[in-house]
């Protein structure tokens, strides 16, 4: 069938990895499986307008090119276009109609721009959802399962971790023998029991350094090629994911904390031991980690941290201690944040059609 024009709109959240994806093979295949909490408040909202094109002649060079405009927070944004262009090139074989349309991609984030929070996961997921909506409009026979699975597959080709932002609340990406349905090609909802202790788990993101990323994730993943500890690290990710299966079932938060904190320090250890080597933590990152450890040992309140490939700290804790932890954050951690900024988030449900 053909459709002349129209538009779709989706929101997709960010996610925070518990077992980290760090290292990849060709075609965005992860070197190890990862698992994340889908977030709720930190999200990208993207509207996709589309109009059928009637140019039979190639528009440039020898092959027709993609035709799209990009608006970020309502204004044209040229510097994001190459990333989108690359994404379209990668997904075209799976969405052969892409060159038949002119697109207007109108996108915004709910979190501040240049806050040091990566918008690639939520952004690529929101865009993938929109393209799947168009595919479904052209081929209405698809199942919901196919729709979401292919959306995650496409999002992965935009940014690996984006494939974990399509669904909630806990998403696994990467083949793990004892997790049924897990795949290197797309994220799947964690298929086993999750104890109530993890329901509405909180993530308060402390903005320590809002600057541009010192190491792009593309460069970062490449550091795992010829890394002296790569193979052991990839095996460890499988072991930690395996431990999380029973931790999620039993609700053992003490064990959860050990896995999650160790994963984030290992991620940073990989960067410190690669060639070239990097230190992505800032002095305030360490101040925060030490303050969390002290608070936890003094109060027995099960709060922990995780880090992505940067200086910001995600503070994770169960909902029933929210009040005490937020008080602690305000009293003792906000001083380490740039301009005192932090973002309160929690586990969420994945992408939503608007
Ligand atoms: O999706 P990418 O290529 O930006 O990689 C993200 C990597 C980490 O955020 C550091 C870890 C993860 O699993 O999200």
Whether the complex's predicted ipTM surpasses the cut of 0.95: yes
Could you give the percent of the chain with pLDDT greater than 70? 96
Q: For residue 290, report the distance from its CA to the centre of ligand 1, in Å.
A: 24
Which residues are CB-neighbours of 270 under 8 A, at least 6 positions away?
22, 223, 224, 227, 229, 233
Atom of ligand 1 nearest to the CA of 34: 13
More confident residue, 133 or 212: 133
Name residues contacting ligand 1 (CB within 6 A): 17, 20-22, 34, 120, 159-161, 217, 267, 308-309
State the Cα–Cα distance between residues 339 and 337, nearest whole angstrom: 6
The pTM assigned to this predicted structure is 0.96
**Is the distance from CB of 163 to CB of 33 less than 8 angstroms?**
no
- Which residues make beta-bridge pairs with 6? 50
Q: For residue 335, report the distance from its CA to the centre of ligand 1, in Å.
A: 27
State the Cα–Cα distance between residues 271 and 190, nearest whole angstrom: 28
Protein residue with least CA distance to atom 4, ligand 1: 217
Q: For residue 170, report the distance from its CA to the centre of ligand 1, in Å.
A: 16
Protein residue with least CA distance to atom 9, ligand 1: 308
Q: Based on the number of CB atoms within 10 Å of its own CB, is 213 exposed (0-12), middle (13-18) or buried (19 or more)?
A: middle
For 180-211, what is each residue's pLDDT tens digit? 999 999 999 999 999 999 999 999 999 999 87
**Is the distance from CB of 162 to CB of 128 less than 8 angstroms?**
yes
Reply yes or no on whether the pLDDT at 57 is more than 90. Answer: no
Rg (CA), the chain: 21
Q: For residue 173, report the distance from its CA to the centre of ligand 1, in Å.
A: 11
Per-residue confidence (pLDDT) for residue 170, from 0 to 100: 98
Q: For residue 258, report the distance from its CA to the centre of ligand 1, in Å.
A: 20
Helix (H, G, I), strand (E, B) or coil at 84: helix
* Top mutation candidate among 17, 44, 154, 161 for ligand 1, by most atoms within 8 Å of CB: 161
Mean pLDDT of 45-70: 79
Q: For residue 270, report the distance from its CA to the centre of ligand 1, in Å.
A: 13
Domain count within the chain: 1
Reply yes or no on whether the pLDDT at 115 is more than 70. Answer: no
For 132-145, what is each residue's pLDDT tens digit? 999 999 999 999 99
- Which residues make beta-bridge pairs with 12? 44
What's the CATH code of the domain at 159?
Answer: 3.30.230.10
Residue range of the domain that includes 284: 1-354
Atom of ligand 1 nearest to the CA of 159: 1
Per-residue confidence (pLDDT) for residue 213, from 0 to 100: 74
């Amino acid at each position: 069938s053909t459709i002349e024009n129209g538009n779709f709109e989706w929101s997709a959240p960010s996610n925070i990895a518990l077992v980290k994806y760090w290292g990849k093979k060709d075609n965005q295949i992860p070197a190890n499986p990862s698992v994340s909490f889908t977030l709720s408040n930190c999200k990208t909202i993207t509207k996709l307008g589309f109009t059928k094109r009637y140019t039979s002649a190639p528009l440039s060079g020898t092959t027709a090119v993609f035709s799209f405009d990009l608006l970020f927070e309502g204004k044209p944004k040229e510097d994001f276009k190459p990333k989108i262009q690359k994404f379209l090139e990668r997904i075209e074989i799976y969405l052969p109609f892409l060159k038949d349309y002119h697109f207007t991609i109108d996108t915004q984030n709910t979190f501040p721009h240049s806050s040091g929070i990566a918008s690639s996961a939520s952004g690529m997921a929101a865009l993938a959802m929109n393209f799947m909506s168009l595919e479904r409009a052209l081929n209405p026979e698809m199942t919901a399962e196919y729709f979401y699975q292919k959306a995650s597959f496409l999002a992965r080709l935009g940014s690996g971790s984006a494939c974990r932002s399509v669904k909630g609340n806990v998403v696994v990406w990467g083949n793990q023998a004892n997790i049924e349905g897990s795949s290197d090609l797309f994220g799947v909802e964690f298929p086993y029991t999750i104890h109530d202790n993890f329901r509405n788990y909180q993530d308060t993101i402390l903005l320590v350094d809002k600057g541009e990323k010192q190491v792009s994730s593309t460069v970062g993943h490449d550091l795992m090629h010829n890394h002296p500890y790569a193979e052991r690290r990839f095996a460890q990710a499988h072991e930690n994911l395996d431990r999380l299966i029973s931790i999620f079932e039993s609700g053992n938060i003490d064990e959860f904390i050990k896995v999650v904190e160790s994963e984030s320090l290992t991620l940073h250890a990989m960067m410190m031991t690669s060639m070239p080597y990097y230190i992505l933590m800032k002095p305030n990152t360490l101040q925060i980690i030490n303050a969390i450890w002290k608070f936890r040992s003094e109060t027995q309140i099960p709060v922990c941290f995780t880090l992505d490939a940067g200086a910001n700290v995600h503070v994770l804790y169960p909902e029933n201690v929210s009040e005490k932890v937020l008080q602690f954050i305000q009293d003792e951690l906000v001083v380490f944040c740039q301009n005192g900024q932090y973002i309160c988030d929690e586990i969420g449900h994945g992408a939503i059609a608007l």
